[in-house]
């Protein structure tokens, strides 16, 4: 109760320990107590052993003293027996007992070396023994002279009677030995040893009690500084999961307070992220929704009002099939089933009902196996479909209603310039030729636009077949030879084995080559050379390169040269009458063949456009230096 009352008034701030410090306290305090307890018990055991040794020594001293007393009595009895009967055996016993007494006294002196009182008595006993030994020798001398002790006593009236001297020495020695034995018994450690044994139980009880007190105190200390704070963290975790406000930040500077601070910061960041996410979802033009595995809506964003014509609340729990046009339901169900087996988002299109209207939509769907739901983004593509339809109509109009009349006009102008209607004046002929060139440019632009539209609608067709490579290169060179000659530019082409074939649509590849060589001519200066090279790398492909010595392409524009309507310089469109579609068309044609296209350029030194085509059968490698001059 005392400990509880003390700890109940202690604030965790008063401790302000870090978890590592608390852990150290939890380990160190019991450890220190155990060390002290073990040391105390070891001292008790050691003291008890020492006392037991002292007791054993005391018993040996008493036993030796008793033995000396007994030997003394036997020695003097043997001496009197020898005096009376002169029996040699009695004499032998006397000498043996005297020798034993001396040895025992020496041993007794050693055993009492650290006991001053006993040592003093032992020394006195040794002196008495020596005196008795002298008396014994004197008596033995009398006996050997065959005199009687009583007669000797009568002759030495001035000395104490010999018999009395013998008894006096015997009594003194025996008395000293008995005193020493009594003293040793009085100082024996029997009582002390019992005292040590009696102390063991109280020490054990005290240690157990103190262990319990320390354990309870440490538990309360840990609870005051840690457990309550951990409960706050757990409660905050539950609050965060429920979206409820978090509890007040923990005080202190320990790890739990730091963790709680980080947790609050994380909660604030999550709250802000959720607000941003909610704002994005609520303001998104596309519908963001979740659909369960049975294709029922679970949650729908506000954009559903515009796309589906329904409130998000009305869509929750509604079957998806109820919104899809009847003809598209089966295909839509199959599309959703396919999504489950794909790790990435899948895209598909169908039509949904919006009141009495049909809306074209594009679905981006991802399946969550853990939550058993589809995450969907639905985009209204009706306007885009309408734009595509208008674009197709426009291209169709250009193809039939614009290109055909222009080609007819071009033919008529060609006839006029050729003199079919008579020789034209020089000024008129120049005007006709200018008009013919402009119409050719317009027709070329229309053809490029038609090709681009075909690329967008995936209708760009290539007819792959084994095709000899050399005729393709020669046809392209022949097509632009006059253009190069007019600018004073030389054309060089690789010598290619006539048997080398590529898997290609010959007309389309010639279109690519003409486009690349024409571009090289446009941007090359007079008296320069354009090289058309075929390189065989042994990887089953041939790399065709068109290299010029023109102005080159800035490094910043390299990555965008194949984009539509892209010109390196704005003035190029006017100066060179380019549409910016040629390279984009080349890229699409090459990729339709399964090849790659790219460009390498050093500004001021020239440019090399290259593309690859798959070979048919064994290729014949032609070194790059085997080049023939065409012009």
Structural domains in the chain, sorted by start: 42-188 (1.20.120), 191-281 (no CATH), 282-380 (3.30.450.20), 462-614 (3.30.565.10)
- Whether the pLDDT of residue 541 is over 80: the answer is yes
Asked whether the beta carbons of 313 and 331 are under 8 A apart, the reply is: no
- Whether the pLDDT of residue 382 is over 80: the answer is yes
Please report the pLDDT score of residue 164 as a whole number. Answer: 64
- Whether the pLDDT of residue 49 is over 80: the answer is no
Most confident range, picked from 64-78, 318-332, 458-472, 567-581: 318-332
Q: What is the mean pLDDT of residues 121-137?
A: 79
Please report the pLDDT score of residue 211 as a whole number. Answer: 80
pTM for the model: 0.42
Strand 287-292: give its sheet, edge to edge. Answer: 297-300, 287-292, 373-380, 357-368, 346-354
Burial of 374 (0-12, 13-18, 19+ CB in 10 A): buried
- Whether the pLDDT of residue 86 is over 50: the answer is yes
Please report the pLDDT score of residue 571 as a whole number. Answer: 44
Q: Average model confidence (pLDDT) for the chain? A: 78
Model pLDDT for residues 400-442, shown as the tens digit of each residue: 677 777 777 878 878 877 777 777 788 787 787 778 777 776 7
Model pLDDT for residues 131-159, shown as the tens digit of each residue: 777 777 877 877 777 665 555 444 444 44
Sequence-separated contacts (24+) of 563-566 with Cβ below 8 Å: 564/452
Positive or negative torsion for Cα 264, 267, 272, 273 = positive
Q: Which residues, including other chains, have CB under 8 Å from residue 557's CB and lie 6 or more apart? A: 568
Please report the pLDDT score of residue 105 as a whole number. Answer: 81
Asked whether the beta carbons of 505 and 463 are under 8 A apart, the reply is: yes
347 φ, ψ to 5°?
-120, 140
Of the listed ranges 158-167, 212-221, 439-448, the least confidently predicted one is 158-167
If one compares 574 and 64, the residue with the highest pLDDT of the two is 64
Q: How confident is the model at residue 194 (pLDDT cuts 50, 70, 90)?
A: low
Q: How confident is the model at residue 262 (pLDDT cuts 50, 70, 90)?
A: confident
- Tell how strand 465-468 and strand 490-494 pair up: unpaired
Put residue 604 in one of left, alpha, beta given phi > 0 → left and psi -120 to 50 → alpha. Answer: left
Q: How confident is the model at residue 627 (pLDDT cuts 50, 70, 90)?
A: very low
Q: What is the mean pLDDT of residues 299-326?
A: 91
- Whether the pLDDT of residue 559 is over 50: the answer is yes
Please report the pLDDT score of residue 13 as a whole number. Answer: 45
Q: Which residues, including other chains, have CB under 8 Å from residue 189's CB and lie 6 or more apart? A: 51, 52, 54, 55, 58
- Whether the pLDDT of residue 343 is over 70: the answer is yes
Q: Which residues, including other chains, have CB under 8 Å from residue 79's CB and lie 6 or more apart? A: 90, 94, 136, 139, 140, 166
């Amino acid at each position: 109760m005392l400990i509880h009352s003390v700890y109940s008034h202690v604030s965790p701030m008063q401790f302000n320990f870090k978890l590592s410090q608390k852990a150290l306290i939890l380990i160190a305090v019991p450890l220190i107590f155990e060390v002290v307890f073990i040391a105390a018990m070891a001292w008790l055991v050691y003291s008890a052993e020492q006392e037991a040794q002292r007791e054993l020594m005391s018993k040996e001293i008493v036993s030796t003293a008793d033995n000396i007393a007994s030997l003394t009595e036997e020695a003097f009895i043997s001496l009197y027996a020898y005096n009376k009967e002169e029996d040699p055996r009695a004499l032998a016993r006397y000498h043996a007992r005297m020798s034993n007494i001396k040895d025992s006294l020496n041993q007794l002196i050693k055993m009492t070396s650290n006991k001053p009182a006993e040592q003093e008595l032992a020394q006195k006993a040794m002196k008495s023994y020596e005196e008795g030994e002298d008396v014994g020798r004197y008596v033995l001398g009398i006996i050997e002279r065959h005199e009687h002790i009583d007669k000797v006593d009568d002759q030495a009236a001035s000395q104490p009677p010999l018999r009395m001297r013998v008894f006096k020495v015997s009594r003194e020695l025996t008395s000293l030995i008995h005193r020493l034995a009594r003293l040793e018994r009085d100082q024996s450690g029997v009582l002390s040893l019992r005292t040590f044994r009696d102390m063991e139980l109280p020490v054990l009880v005290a240690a157990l009690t103190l262990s319990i007190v320390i354990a309870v105190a440490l538990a309360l200390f840990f609870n005051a500084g840690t457990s309550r704070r951990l409960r706050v963290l757990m409660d905050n975790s539950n609050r965060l999961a429920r979206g409820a406000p978090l509890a007040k930040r923990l005080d202190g500077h320990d790890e739990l307070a730091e963790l709680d601070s980080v947790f609050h910061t994380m909660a604030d960041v999550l709250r802000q992220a959720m607000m941003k996410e909610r704002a994005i979802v609520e303001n998104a033009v596309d519908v963001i929704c979740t659909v369960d595995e049975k294709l029922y809506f679970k949650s729908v964003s506000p954009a559903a009002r515009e796309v589906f014509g329904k409130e998000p609340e009305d869509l929750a729990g509604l079957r998806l099939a109820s919104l899809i046009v009847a003809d598209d339901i089966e295909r839509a169900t199959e599309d959703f089933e396919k999504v489950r087996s794909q790790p990435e988002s899948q895209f598909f299109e169908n039509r949904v009902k919006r009141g009495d209207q049909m809306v074209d939509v594009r679905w981006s769907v991802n399946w969550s196996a853990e939550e058993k739901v589809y995450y969907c983004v639905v985009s209204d593509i009706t306007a885009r479909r309408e734009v595509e339809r208008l674009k197709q109509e426009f291209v169709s109009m250009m193809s039939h209603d614009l290109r055909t009349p222009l080609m007819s006009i071009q033919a008529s102008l060609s006839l006029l310039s050729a003199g079919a209607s008579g020789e034209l004046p020089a000024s008129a002929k120049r005007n006709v030729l200018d008009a013919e060139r402009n119409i050719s440019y317009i027709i070329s632009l229309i053809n490029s636009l038609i090709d681009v539209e075909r690329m967008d609608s995936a209708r760009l067709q290539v007819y792959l077949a084994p095709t000899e490579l050399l005729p393709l290169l020669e046809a392209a060179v022949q097509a632009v030879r006059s253009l190069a000659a007019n600018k004073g530019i030389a054309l060089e082409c690789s010598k290619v084995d006539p048997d080398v074939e590529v898997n290609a649509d010959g007309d389309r590849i010639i279109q690519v080559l003409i486009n690349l060589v024409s571009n090289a001519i446009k941007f090359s200066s007079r008296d320069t050379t354009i090289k058309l090279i075929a390189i065989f790398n042994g990887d089953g492909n041939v790399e065709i390169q068109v290299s010029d010595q023109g102005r080159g392409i800035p490094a910043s524009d390299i990555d965008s040269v194949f984009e539509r309507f892209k010109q390196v310089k704005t003035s190029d469109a006017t100066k060179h009458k380019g549409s910016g579609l040629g390279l984009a068309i080349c890229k699409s044609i090459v990729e339709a063949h399964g090849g790659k296209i790219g460009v390498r350029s050093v500004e001021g030194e020239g440019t090399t456009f290259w593309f690859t085509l798959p070979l048919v059968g064994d290729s014949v490698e032609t070194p790059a230096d085997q080049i023939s001059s065409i012009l």
